[in-house]
């Protein structure tokens, strides 16, 4: 066991946990003030709910002993067998528990990402149930396929350093299912549904960016040059993403906006996530630019298709996830990470098709299961708030609280 690696991964786990808080603030600032607490509560409570799920059956399903390449068994239910000694495959220089708690934070933030799609209109109880079911039946299998020991996507050779498949693409696709099923907010397209506190959003974006170093660099699972390389790639992609979005927006609408800067950075960071440990800094810079432009266009497409993905989870995480997995197939280089593979631009034509398989499978599986789970919870309990509650706001109707008593 290595104390440097262990320190590093523990700190990274804390950084990723902070990202869910950052996400809460990022989202809350963008909704109307009557929904500020409801929005924050969704992310905040998910930290608690999904952590418990994780230590009971989540970790076992995702990383436990493999069954047919498709799922982990429940041998590690309640973290039985997950002790202090390193696991022989997952992270050989840190305690198994440390690897588990690091992965826990990924499992936690992923369902929290989806909340952006149904912001301002989901009932609290059904939301909890859906999140729990989604974590169990979508996140855990996907994580197993791509990262589990014996998982079939990983065995196939799909490259996903820190979460294109299990985190961004999955949440983006689930967000689409949710936006379609829950329907538009009242006033969407006709009224002013403006952000109520952009400084809060920017604070959230900053915390997310900061935490992302734990998300991507930590996925090296060791404190060394690969972590450093992933850190650099992550940061660079975030910066060029921000610049690309801002300049594009400036060109198209005439003004550079703060929200655009934050959104571009997030787009860059999300898109580089599967690629972070496989690409060099210049590749990362290009990836960030593609992300800024691609996700910006993705959001404009929302206006064309007419679905209310309130906080642009599809446009940023969905599009970013697809883009990120694709560019991994283009820019990956074994010179950066011998444990990976070369992408198309380094002479290997096969990787891109493997990435496409990963993308296709993730989209189909996630959409079908997410839609089904949403339908079931809707039939049993009803997902959407009553119209009069939507008008009064989630804070007062779901939580009997007011965010701003001034």
Contacts to another protein by CB under 8 A: 30, 192, 194-195, 249, 252-253, 255, 257, 259-260, 263, 296, 299-300, 303, 312
Q: Which is nearer to another protein, 304 or 379 (CB)?
A: 304
Based on the number of CB atoms within 10 Å of its own CB, is 3 exposed (0-12), middle (13-18) or buried (19 or more)? exposed
**At which residue do the structure tokens 């589990």 appear?**
148
Contact (Cβ atoms closer than 8 angstroms) between residue 300 and residue 243:
no
Minimum distance, C-beta of residue 148 to another protein, in the bound complex (Å)? 36
Q: Which is nearer to another protein, 23 or 361 (CB)?
A: 23
For residue 213, which of 2, 14, 5, 6 has the smallest C-alpha distance?
Answer: 14
Q: Which is nearer to another protein, 5 or 120 (CB)?
A: 120
SS3 labels along 159-193: CCCCCHHHHHHHHHHHHHHHHHHHCCCCCCCCCCC
Minimum distance, C-beta of residue 300 to another protein, in the bound complex (Å)? 5
Minimum distance, C-beta of residue 261 to another protein, in the bound complex (Å)? 11
Q: Which is nearer to another protein, 192 or 400 (CB)?
A: 192
Q: Which is nearer to another protein, 11 or 256 (CB)?
A: 256
Give the Cα separation of 68 and 296 in Å (integer): 40
Strand-pairing partners, residue 87, are: 91
| 148, 274, 309 from 341: Cα distances, Å | 18, 13, 35
Q: Which is nearer to another protein, 38 or 298 (CB)?
A: 298
Q: How far is CA 58 from the centre of its chain?
A: 17
Minimum distance, C-beta of residue 367 to another protein, in the bound complex (Å)? 24
Minimum distance, C-beta of residue 299 to another protein, in the bound complex (Å)? 6
Backbone dihedral region of 174: left (phi > 0), alpha (psi from -120 to 50 degrees) or beta? alpha
Minimum distance, C-beta of residue 121 to another protein, in the bound complex (Å)? 17
DSSP alpha helix (H) spans, 54-195: 59-63, 96-114, 124-134, 140-147, 152-156, 170-182
Phi, psi angles (nearest 5°) of residue 27: -70, -45
Q: Which is nearer to another protein, 128 or 256 (CB)?
A: 256
Minimum distance, C-beta of residue 201 to another protein, in the bound complex (Å)? 10
CA atoms within 13 A on the CB side of 153: 29
For residue 355, which of 98, 168, 206, 158 has the smallest C-alpha distance?
Answer: 158
Using only C-alpha atoms, the chain has a radius of gyration, in whole angstroms, of: 20
Q: Which is nearer to another protein, 147 or 296 (CB)?
A: 296
Minimum distance, C-beta of residue 193 to another protein, in the bound complex (Å)? 8
């Amino acid at each position: 066991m290595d104390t440097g690696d262990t320190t590093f991964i523990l700190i990274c786990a804390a950084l990723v946990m902070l990202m869910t808080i950052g996400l809460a603030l990022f989202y809350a600032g963008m909704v109307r003030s009557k929904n500020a607490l409801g929005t924050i509560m969704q992310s905040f409570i998910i930290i608690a709910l999904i952590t418990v799920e994780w230590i009971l059956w989540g970790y076992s399903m995702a990383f436990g002993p493999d069954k047919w390449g498709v799922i982990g068994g429940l041998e590690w239910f309640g973290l039985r067998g997950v002790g202090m000694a390193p696991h022989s495959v997952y992270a050989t220089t840190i305690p198994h528990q440390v690897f588990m708690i690091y992965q826990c934070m990924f499992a936690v933030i992923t369902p929290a990402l989806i909340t952006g799609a149904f912001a301002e209109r989901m009932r609290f109880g059904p939301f909890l149930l859906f999140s729990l079911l989604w974590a169990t039946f979508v996140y855990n299998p996907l994580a197993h396929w791509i990262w589990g020991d014996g998982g079939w996507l990983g065995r196939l050779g799909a490259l996903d350093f820190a979460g294109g498949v299990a985190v961004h693409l999955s949440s983006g696709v689930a967000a689409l299912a949710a936006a379609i099923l829950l329907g538009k907010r009242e006033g969407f397209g006709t009224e002013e549904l403006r952000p109520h506190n952009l400084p809060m959003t920017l604070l959230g974006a900053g915390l997310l960016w900061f935490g992302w170093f734990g998300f991507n660099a930590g996925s090296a699972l060791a404190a060394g040059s690969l972590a450093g390389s992933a850190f650099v790639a992550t940061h660079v992609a975030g910066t060029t993403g921000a610049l690309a979005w801002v300049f594009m927006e400036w060109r198209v609408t005439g003004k550079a906006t703060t929200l655009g800067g934050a959104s571009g950075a997030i787009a860059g960071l999300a898109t580089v996530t599967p690629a972070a440990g496989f690409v060099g800094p210049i590749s990362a810079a290009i990836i960030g630019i593609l992300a800024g432009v691609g996700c910006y266009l993705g959001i404009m497409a929302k206006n064309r298709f007419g679905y209310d993905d309130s906080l642009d989870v599809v446009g940023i995480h969905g599009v970013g996830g697809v883009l990120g997995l694709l560019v991994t197939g283009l820019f990956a280089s074994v010179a950066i990470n011998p444990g990976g593979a070369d992408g198309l631009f380094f002479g290997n034509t096969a990787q891109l098709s493997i990435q496409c398989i990963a993308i296709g499978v993730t989209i189909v599986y996630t959409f079908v299961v997410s839609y089904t789970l949403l339908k079931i919870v809707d039939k049993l309990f009803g997902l959407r708030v009553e119209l009069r509650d939507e008008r009064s706001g989630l804070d007062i109707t779901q939580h009997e609280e007011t965010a701003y008593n001034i």
